[in-house]
């Protein structure tokens, strides 16, 4: 079973244990590159209006990235795809909720994390990127 399918298992049962198992699968995938520029590419495509490229992009490096799923959320929003938009926001929230429970999580209060998401959603992708880097 491919790593992508295993991630779906985590999304249907989002616990600390399933997340750690899934994260290990991602990290051990031969295509995984922790120094990839995937997130930067997604942001560039958003800024260039290449929304279809953003939503179609799938790579092991972004599977567990809440930021990547927020970028996809904005792309779906621009394309007028409510279902895709809802799915991507749900995925990012599941990942963020599990990260909040991890010992290795960034030290951020859950209220601040929620505020970060809401401000980003209302102010657009460039602001999300700036806020994301301030927090992490």
Residue 123 pLDDT: 55
Give residues with Cβ within 8 angstroms of 132, minimum separation 6: 67, 116, 120
Which spans in 13-108 are helix H? 16-28, 38-47, 51-56, 66-79, 82-100
Would you state the structure tokens that stand for residue 10, as one six-digit string?
């985590």
Give residues with Cβ within 8 angstroms of 103, minimum separation 6: none
Residue 131 pLDDT: 47
Region of 12 on the Ramachandran plot (φ > 0 left; ψ -120 to 50 alpha; else beta): alpha
Residue 100 pLDDT: 78
The answer to whether the beta carbons of residues 28 and 3 sit under 8 Å apart is no
Would you tell me how many other CB atoms lie within 10 Å of the CB of residue 78?
A: 16
Task: Answer yes or no: pTM beyond 0.85.
Answer: no
Would you tell me how many other CB atoms lie within 10 Å of the CB of residue 109?
A: 9
User: Which single residue is written with the structure tokens 């657009």?
Assistant: 124
Residue 23 pLDDT: 87
What averages of pLDDT result for each successive group of 10 residues across the chain (136 residues)? 71 85 89 92 96 95 92 96 95 87 57 59 54 44
Residue 111 pLDDT: 55
The answer to whether the beta carbons of residues 76 and 84 sit under 8 Å apart is yes
Residue 129 pLDDT: 52
The answer to whether the beta carbons of residues 94 and 11 sit under 8 Å apart is yes
């Amino acid at each position: 079973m491919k790593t992508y399918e295993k991630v779906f298992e985590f999304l249907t049962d989002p616990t600390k244990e399933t997340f750690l198992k899934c994260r290990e699968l991602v990290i051990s995938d031969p295509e995984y590159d922790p120094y990839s520029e995937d997130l930067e590419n997604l942001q560039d495509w958003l800024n260039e209006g290449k929304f279809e490229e953003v939503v179609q992009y799938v790579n092991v490096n972004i599977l567990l990235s809440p930021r990547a799923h927020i970028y996809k959320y904005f792309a779906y929003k621009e394309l007028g795809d409510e279902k895709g938009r809802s799915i991507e926001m749900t995925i990012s929230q599941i990942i963020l909720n599990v990260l909040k429970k991890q010992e290795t999580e960034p030290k951020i209060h859950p209220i601040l994390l929620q505020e970060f998401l809401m401000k980003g959603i209302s102010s657009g992708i460039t602001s999300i990127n700036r806020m994301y880097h301030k927090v992490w």
